[in-house]
A and B are shown apart, each in its own frame.
Chain A
Amino acid sequence: MRDFVELMVSVGEAGGIYALVALAFLVTLRPTGVFNFALGEWAGLGAFVGIAAVVWLRLPYLVALPLIVGSTALVGWVSERFTVRPLIEHDAPPLSPVLALLGVMTMTHEGIVFFFGTSNQFAPSPLGAAPLQLGPIVAPSQSFLVIGVTAAVFAGAWYFFERTVWGRAFEAVAVDRFAAGLVGVNLRLTSTLAFAAGGAIAGLAGLLQSPLTSASYLMGLPLAVKGFSALVIGGMGRVEGALLGGLLLALLERLVLRYAPIPSGYAIGVPLLLLILFLLVRPTGLLPSKTIR
């Protein structure tokens, strides 16, 4: 029982981060149809901007947070404005924006190396280093913070998409971009906001992870892989799918690592193997998108 409780905290912590990156993929993908693999590096950027703000400039966390999330949102806005939008407006093939964003991914990675170097950086938790006890559960305060922030972000995202006019506009563009334009939805603004929101959420995910492992210039790619896997598992059409996918991926990883009768060196690959099998059985993910509901 003790092992299981410890594992569930670990699932909540890792699954929350995977889910946030999956949500960043989702909010970018839905209105634009573009897979943005630069999001992993933007998460890494969020971690390093966090260190610049909190450690170097010694800003209080609450002051630093909007600056950190705003900076990665700005990177998202600039990327959309100067790489994705010109390609879409010039009727480039569908894969062209994806390739352009791979270029943005490389530039972001090299930018992190240039400005912050290749050394791992210590990232303090806003709640301090001491563990917290909630009932029978004792875990680092950062674990509880990740779980809480993830829950809040997903509640906000769900409310935005389901209950606001802007959220409806995003969905309308996702369902039929041409028709949404005809009824007056501002396609350019929707696309820009989608990239900025994706950048902000990815930056937040990186910021939350950095106190757990330190900030590293190599942290972007694994985050992109996990987040994208979570998105595929949960389904690419729903906010709830991103959350479900993230938690399920983390749960699967930990259950296999802990209970499968194979060495951990081999167990690491099992969840991705299961993911492939899962896709063969259910290619649309657990929760189908609204376009095919």
Chain B
Amino acid sequence: MPRMLLIIAGVITVLVLSAPARAQDSIKIGIVTDHTGNAAEFAKIEEEGLELALKEINAAGGVLGKKIELSYEDDEDKPALSATKVRKLASSGAALIIQLSSSTSTQQAEAASLETKIPHIGANQSADTLVTKLDNPYFFLAGMPGSIQFKTLLAFMRKQYKTAAIFTDTSAIAQFLAKTFREGGVAAGIKIVDEETIESGATDAIAQVQHIRNANPDVVLDAGNTISESAAFYRSYRQLNLPYPILASYNKSIPRYLEVVPHLLDGVDFVDCFDDEKPETKTFIEHFKADRGKEPFSLTAFGYNALYLAKDAIDRARSADREKIKDALANTHDFKSVIGARGTTLNFAPDHRAGFPEQGAVIRVIENNRHGKAIFAGY
């Protein structure tokens, strides 16, 4: 019996002593993601891009001669939990954090990254307030800010249309988008002749589409967010055979819309940050298709982009020290990103922590139930 106890104690000692040794062989990056909440569908897609980047980086020798190790935490897209997860990852020795959940959760999580002084990359979020509400020098937004999306969209509209109708739903994001369309449209000299809302759980939008038909706009602006209600709207729109072109927000870059109402979105123009003619993006698409056997899109690219951005900062910092990584991130120049229009790069500075290029948003068209080429860029 004493001999058995000695063996067990020996095994435990070896395991405990070997743990730091293993940890030193890798650099840990914390991933705050959403596996169970409202952003789960999107975060899951971003993780596919992140995992491809991890595979490529580690196969090429890692960073600073060490492998990258990802440590995932599910924040359920709940703001308070998100902050807790950042603290947990900070105390577990992560060199930096990449966040894949929503803007709301990321906003709350920023308080924790500031408190624990850990570099924090927002991979995909679009709220401009993430870099204005809290003066957090550790946070860097790699996602496409809403303001840039709308400038591009309005520039595209202004060239062709004088009147517009808006379609939206009752979700907070859709209401925000509709407000931005309304105010931005008016500022750009476009007259908003009708605004229609579809309620949660509606089976169709016939009455709303009839209103649009009567208003006879040059274009319909789709600010819809929830998939079921968008499906009901597009079904009604096609049923009544309305002729007006539709211009949609970045939400329609998510392929799930194409899957639930096949071909009903054909011909719709939408804002995106993914230009498949950009050389870096082309390479990413080829790699992803070879690895996963399917096409990536902008959300996948956000995850991929964020891990390469982190690697680039650690390389330039020549250390896994958080302060040095933060300084390196704040001095990112001309990072060749797989997101953004061709010819654009990501750039950060201490006083410019939203790195997406001002001219980086594009307008794409849905053709034959697929996201087609970029037909307009910048503003």
**Does chain A have a CB within 8 A of B247?**
no
CB distance from B327 to the nearest CB of A (A): 39
CB of B41 within 8 A of CB of A119, answer yes
CB of A139 within 8 A of CB of B260, answer no
CB of B228 within 8 A of CB of A120, answer yes
**Does chain A have a CB within 8 A of B239?**
yes
A-contacting 9-mer, from B81-89, B92-100, B150-158, B196-204: B196-204
Which residues of B lie under 8 Å from residue A216 when comparing CB positions? 227-228
CB within 8 Å for A6 and B228 given contacts A214-B261, A222-B200: no
Majority secondary structure, A binding face: helix
**Does chain A have a CB within 8 A of B127?**
no
**Does chain B have a CB within 8 A of A91?**
no
CB within 8 Å for A213 and B199 given contacts A121-B260, A218-B228: no
CB of B204 within 8 A of CB of A264, answer no
Which residues of A lie under 8 Å from residue B256 when comparing CB positions? 119-120
Which residues of B lie under 8 Å from residue A226 when comparing CB positions? 201
CB distance from A162 to the nearest CB of B (A): 30
CB of B204 within 8 A of CB of A14, answer yes
CB of B227 within 8 A of CB of A10, answer no
**Does chain B have a CB within 8 A of A74?**
no
Distance of A257 Cα from B197 Cα, bound (Å): 10
**Does chain B have a CB within 8 A of A13?**
yes
CB of A254 within 8 A of CB of B260, answer no
CB of A213 within 8 A of CB of B228, answer yes
CB of B197 within 8 A of CB of A264, answer yes
CB within 8 Å for A223 and B204 given contacts A3-B210, A213-B229: no
Q: Quick one: which of B165-219 are within 8 Å of A by CB? A: 168, 170, 195-204, 206-208, 210-211
Distance of A14 Cα from B232 Cα, bound (Å): 12
**Does chain A have a CB within 8 A of B36?**
yes
Which residues of A lie under 8 Å from residue B41 when comparing CB positions? 117-119
**Does chain B have a CB within 8 A of A33?**
no
**Does chain B have a CB within 8 A of A258?**
yes
Closest to B195 in A: A263
CB of B207 within 8 A of CB of A257, answer yes
**Does chain A have a CB within 8 A of B268?**
no
CB of B227 within 8 A of CB of A212, answer no
CB within 8 Å for A131 and B227 given contacts A212-B232, A264-B197: no
Of listed B40, B206, B229, residue having the most chain A CB within 10 A: B206
**Does chain A have a CB within 8 A of B18?**
no
Closest to B39 in A: A118
Distance of A172 Cα from B58 Cα, bound (Å): 73
Which residues of A lie under 8 Å from residue B210 when comparing CB positions? 3, 6-7, 258
CB of B260 within 8 A of CB of A120, answer yes
CB within 8 Å for A219 and B207 given contacts A6-B240, A212-B235: no
Which residues of A lie under 8 Å from residue B228 when comparing CB positions? 120, 213-214, 216, 218-219
CB of B207 within 8 A of CB of A7, answer yes
Closest to B259 in A: A122
Distance of A7 Cα from B201 Cα, bound (Å): 18
Interface string of A7-42 (1 = CB under 8 A from B): 101100110010000000000000000000000000
**Does chain A have a CB within 8 A of B262?**
yes
**Does chain B have a CB within 8 A of A265?**
yes
**Does chain A have a CB within 8 A of B283?**
no
Which residues of A lie under 8 Å from residue B198 when comparing CB positions? 264
CB of A14 within 8 A of CB of B195, answer no
Which residues of B lie under 8 Å from residue A72 when comparing CB positions? none
**Does chain B have a CB within 8 A of A140?**
yes
Beyond contacts A222-B200, A263-B195, A265-B170: 5 other A-B pairs, Cβ-Cβ < 8 A, are A3-B210, A10-B206, A213-B203, A264-B197, A264-B207
The chain B residues found within 8 Å of chain A, CB to CB, are: 36, 38, 40-41, 168, 170, 195-204, 206-208, 210-211, 226-229, 231-232, 235, 239-240, 256, 259-262
Q: Name 18 A/B residue pairs within 8 A (Cβ), A-sorted.
A: A6-B206, A14-B203, A118-B41, A119-B41, A120-B228, A120-B231, A120-B256, A122-B262, A140-B239, A213-B231, A213-B235, A214-B227, A214-B260, A218-B228, A222-B201, A254-B206, A264-B208, A265-B197
> Which 8 A-B residue pairs are closest in the complex by CB-CB distance?
A222-B201, A214-B260, A257-B207, A265-B197, A258-B207, A10-B206, A120-B227, A268-B199
